[in-house]
A and B are shown apart, each in its own frame.
Chain A
Amino acid sequence: ETVLTQSPGTLSLSPGERATLSCRASQSVSSSYLAWYQQKPGQAPRLLIYGTSTRATGIPDRFSGSGSGTDFTLTISRLEPEDFAVYCCQQYGSSPWTFGQGTKVEIK
């Protein structure tokens, strides 16, 4: 099983600042099959990024993903008020599909 470890656990930032979230895999993620989701309280996860760097439909370009192998990054270039939420990574390169534990982006 591929274990995904996200850091930091919590990121305290102000609107307009840049957010950089990390996701590290215990083994190489096949074909860069790494996705990022945003989750707000009481809601289902929302797909942001798949294939490491491809934005899902309707996702603004302030969200970007990068990385390869075992190290992946989600960057939010300028935080908008609606971006404060929990973000988690997920690999779909090898079953069982696994998720990171999440990074909470909170208002400073």
Chain B
Amino acid sequence: QVQLQESGPGLVKPSGTLSLTCAVSGGSISSTNWWSWVRQPPGKGLEWIGEIYHSGSINYNPSLKSRVTISLDKSKNQFSLKLSSVTAADTAVYFCARRGYPGPFDIWGQGTMVTVAS
């Protein structure tokens, strides 16, 4: 079955860029699904960041749109997140997730904690 695995630095300096990758295994990233990023600050609720389709279509949460870039690498069967100009408020567990269309987030990665600190 499809599995997702996030990877990337666990510590990012303020004003820097957060970069994460999600590897997709057990299935193709070119399937009819959207590939999403969701985050969860410590002790808080979930926030959708954005998503990408294999055609290159992208949707971003307007609240983060000016700082977010999501891309996809079909050859490596993975997708990535870049969040620029980070502050302590961006400290969170970052999840990658699969979403059908239309559909909920049915498969999730285990999540990776990213701390913004100097």
Chain A residues at the B interface, C-beta cutoff of 8 Å: 1, 31, 33, 35, 37, 43-47, 50, 56, 88, 90, 92-93, 95-102
Contact = CB atoms under 8 A, between A and B. Distances in A.
B61 A47 contact: no
Nearest to B95: A44
Interface string B68-100: 000000000000000000000000000101010
Contacts, number: 53
A79 B104 CA distance: 24
B109 A33 contact: no
Given A92-B99, A96-B61, A47 B105 contact: yes
B102 A99 contact: no
Contacts of A99: 45-48
A33 B46 contact: no
Contact of A97 (B45, B48, B111): B48
